[in-house]
Structure 1
Amino acid sequence: MSELDHGLLRKLAEWHPDDAPVTTMYLTVDGRRYPRRADYEVRLDELLRSARAQASGLEAAAARSVEADLERMSAFVRQDLERGDTQGVAMFSVSEAGLWEEVRVTRPVRDRAFVAPRAELRMLEILLETYGATCAALVDYAKARIFLLQLGRVEEVHDVWDEVPGRHDQGGRSQMRRQRHVDDHRRQHLKHVADALFGLWKARGFEDLVLAGPGEAHRELEGDLHEYLRQRVRAKVTLPMTASTAEVRGRTLEIEEELERDAERSMVERLSEAVAADSGAGVGGLEDTLAALAEGRIGTLAVRLDLERPGGGCDTCGRLTADAASAACPSCGGPMRALADVVEVAIATAYGQGCRIETVAQDDSLVDLDGIGALLRF
């Protein structure tokens, strides 16, 4: 299993097999959407059929390679995949060249299969750009363990240790002086942790910060953080300093999922309100969204995770429409070609324009907008 990062994307982009295509498959295995293994295996079978249809016109050797790719993908999903907190899987294969990569991510993906000369990487690129890193700091009054997490990948990047004297049983002024001495060391330790976090943020960047620990130190730490970091604190939770990397990862993923659901609801509410107000700040529905995309006005494109629609695309200017039967482009009058899924092409176009892509996983979201809409730049 490979971890998703830019190095992996570069590696996959360098696959240039001469005699066989690259088979790419994305599959959502999110337990909330598919409680039983059999539920997502139905989608797997649909993707296998789609890939076989794409390979139907290939020469014999290339077709055999694709069939071997699909058999391996099917076996991996049915026999080897243990979901755990995995919500999406990406698989890349060229059996003829002995190439295989599997990537598991903690976000759902759009179920798709591609048989093409190159690996289809756009969905992973969007995930990397959309979901920034989260920092988790596990802190007590003498030690800190600092982690970076992104899309399920976790790295313990820094430890901060300080010698903090313990208390003693003497009473009176001696005890008071001793306690002030201990408190001073504790404050210095928390300041060191705050400096380490700020340095990490400047060096590597992270979107969210989770503070954790067994007592009150992680809560007190917030007051020592730079203002930029205080704005990024998303949760303060109780964890022992001896927590394993897996425990830190699991608790942080729970927090990320809660934040993602809240952000998704907020974004959909903003979009629905903008469309209802007819203020020019948002559009909803496929045709209006495609028109805004053609004008370069989209800032954030929101798409229901499983949305697929036929449509048309102009070979001259690239304009997309929801009308699969249209013969002439509504923008330039050029010839149109039918597209099996205009939504997927729209996502690729929006990504190329620098738009933020939000795939909405909650089934009851975007219902009033036919599954797609956009917040506009202008």
Structure 2
Amino acid sequence: MCVTETMSQKSNSDNLLQTKNEMHSHVAVLRLGRGRFRVFDIQHSSTQWGSTTYEDIDLKLLARTYDLKPTFVSVYLDMEDEKRMSYFSKRVKMCESILRNDKDLYANFVSSVERIRNYLNSYENADLRTKGLAKGLPDSMPKGLAIFSSNVKNFFECYELPFKFENAFIVDTSPYIRYLARELESWENYCILHLDKNHANIYIASSVKIFDVDNIEKDILHHHRKGGMSQMRYQRLYDGKVLHFYKEVAEDLQRIVKEEGLEKIIIAGPHDAKSQILSHLPIHIQKKIVGNVDLSINTEIGKILDETLTVLQKAESAEDRELVNALHNEVLREGLGIYGLEAIFSALKEGNVDTLIIEKGKVVKGEKCENCGKVREIKEPKAGKCEECGSQMYIVDVFEEMIELAERIDAKVRFVAPSEDIESLGGAGAFLRFARK
């Protein structure tokens, strides 16, 4: 018997679910991935509690937006850091001192920062900060802000998100999307099937939230009159009820995984129940199972999240190793794997990259000519002239340039944990869409 419905069946205005566990009945959980976040509408100069979701964050739009000169200001803020505004002001002054000698760049910078500052001032206003609490949504306040502004391009985008960023303030020829892309890539929802032979809970979870989307409970012949039926008959009826229960759980799991587009499943519960349910799941669902954990059906939600996250992180680490190992093998046999800045940029410009692999946290400084697009790695910042066309070069984050090109050609971007294997490739590599000539 389903006592709650999947989120896709709820109205757009109903983005909260209340857990059915009485011990947590006072906790409202906010759905991530398809939840609502506050979005600032610059055209109307107002802050609204809108329907911005992960799907609404258009990395391709950000990647395809650029200028020949560094006219874009990108700001990432940790909203739990009390010194964030001090950091912001300090970076503004530093950049002003550098850009002051270029009249046009300086004027654009001042105007672009002013739009950001106006937004931040409205956000810091006490009435706005308490708006979520007034609506009874204590978790609705964002933990991180990502803001992109260019006055000369009449461009302003702001995302208020439930995960934290490290404070960053970047002036570049395009919106700096690396931090946003990295967080979105790692913020994947997953499914938890938590069951024993009488109960089953199906959750959709992220790395900080968990929401109960389905609950099935059956009385599997626990109450019968003593001597009312033979042991053999009772066992047959009992086995039949259990079989039907697992079948119903399997059907609900398949439906939810399909409706929500989930790619990873973790099964939690006693050993017997976990073994039994597997025989009722089709192969394509079994392939999505990344691990399991022993948990009582009465385990609290917080414990469920902690235990399954550990399983998920181990699975993702294994995926990283397999991906980098596959890249090594493709490079060795001169197949569809490449590495090296020149080879990767060449393939990206040709539209021949299927998956770009980037080492998390690694930064490679370089220069880029916005006239011909030439990118080269440099040891020390110097922003000289382009060797190809003689135009001015600008200091860039080389991996950021790769990510932007990848988004423009609809290539997948994967961020992998630091390791000797990915470091041996310079921190980046790619799988091609088709073999090189």
- Aligned counterparts of 1:122 and 1:209: Cα–Cα separation in 2: 28
Q: Are the aligned partners of 1:69 and 1:93 in contact in 2 as well (CA < 8 Å)?
A: no
Q: Could you tell me how far 1:122 is from its partner in structure 2?
A: 6.3
Aligned equivalent of 1:211, options 267, 288, 299: 267
Rate the CA distance shift 1:121–1:5 in 2: closer, same or farther, 3 A: farther
**2:10 maps to which residue?**
none
SS of aligned partner of 2:222: coil
TM-score, structure 1 length as denominator? 0.72
Aligned equivalent of 1:202, options 238, 258, 271: 258
Matches for 1:1-378 after TM superposition, within 5 Å: 4-5=32-33, 11-12=38-39, 14-15=41-42, 24-25=75-76, 50=91, 52-54=93-95, 57=106, 58-59=109-110, 62=113, 66=117, 90-92=144-146, 101=160, 103-104=162-163, 112-114=168-170, 123-124=179-180, 127-128=183-184, 132-166=188-222, 174-275=230-331, 277=332, 279-316=334-371, 318-322=373-377, 327-328=385-386, 333=389, 335=391, 337-378=393-434
- Aligned counterparts of 1:45 and 1:309: Cα–Cα separation in 2: 27
Rate the CA distance shift 1:288–1:322 in 2: closer, same or farther, 3 A: farther
Q: Could you tell me how far 1:264 is from its partner in structure 2?
A: 0.8
Q: Could you tell me how far 1:317 is from its partner in structure 2?
A: 5.4
User: Per residue, is there more helix in 1 or in 2?
Assistant: 1
SS of aligned partner of 1:224: coil
Q: Could you tell me how far 1:61 is from its partner in structure 2?
A: 11
Rate the CA distance shift 1:183–1:6 in 2: closer, same or farther, 3 A: closer
Rate the CA distance shift 1:364–1:45 in 2: closer, same or farther, 3 A: farther
Higher mean C-alpha deviation, range 165-174 or range 263-272: 165-174
Matching residue's letter, 1:285: G
Rate the CA distance shift 1:352–1:192 in 2: closer, same or farther, 3 A: same
Q: Relative contact order: is structure 1 or structure 2 higher (C-alpha 8 Å, sep ≥ 6)?
A: 2
Q: Could you tell me how far 1:232 is from its partner in structure 2?
A: 1.1
Q: Which runs of 5+ in 2 are unaligned?
A: 1-28, 47-71, 98-105, 125-142, 149-157
Matching residue's letter, 2:199: K
- Aligned counterparts of 1:110 and 1:304: Cα–Cα separation in 2: 17
Q: Which runs of 5+ in 1 are unaligned?
A: 30-39, 74-88
Higher mean C-alpha deviation, range 123-132 or range 54-63: 54-63
Q: Could you tell me how far 1:361 is from its partner in structure 2?
A: 2.5
Identity, in percent, stands at: 24
**2:136 maps to which residue?**
none
> Cα deviations across residues 325-376 of structure 1 (Å, max 9, x unaligned)?
674475xx58453133222122122122222212223253422112121122
Q: CA RMSD in A?
A: 4.3
Q: Are the aligned partners of 1:4 and 1:151 in contact in 2 as well (CA < 8 Å)?
A: no
Rate the CA distance shift 1:103–1:48 in 2: closer, same or farther, 3 A: farther
Q: Are the aligned partners of 1:290 and 1:346 in contact in 2 as well (CA < 8 Å)?
A: yes
- Aligned counterparts of 2:385 and 2:175: Cα–Cα separation in 1: 31
Rate the CA distance shift 1:139–1:130 in 2: closer, same or farther, 3 A: same
SS of aligned partner of 1:145: strand
**1:78 maps to which residue?**
none
Rate the CA distance shift 1:55–1:171 in 2: closer, same or farther, 3 A: farther
Q: Could you tell me how far 1:91 is from its partner in structure 2?
A: 3.0
Q: Are the aligned partners of 2:293 and 2:308 in contact in 1 as well (CA < 8 Å)?
A: no
Matching residue's letter, 1:103: P
Q: Are the aligned partners of 1:5 and 1:128 in contact in 2 as well (CA < 8 Å)?
A: no
Q: Are the aligned partners of 2:365 and 2:398 in contact in 1 as well (CA < 8 Å)?
A: yes
Rate the CA distance shift 1:93–1:288 in 2: closer, same or farther, 3 A: closer
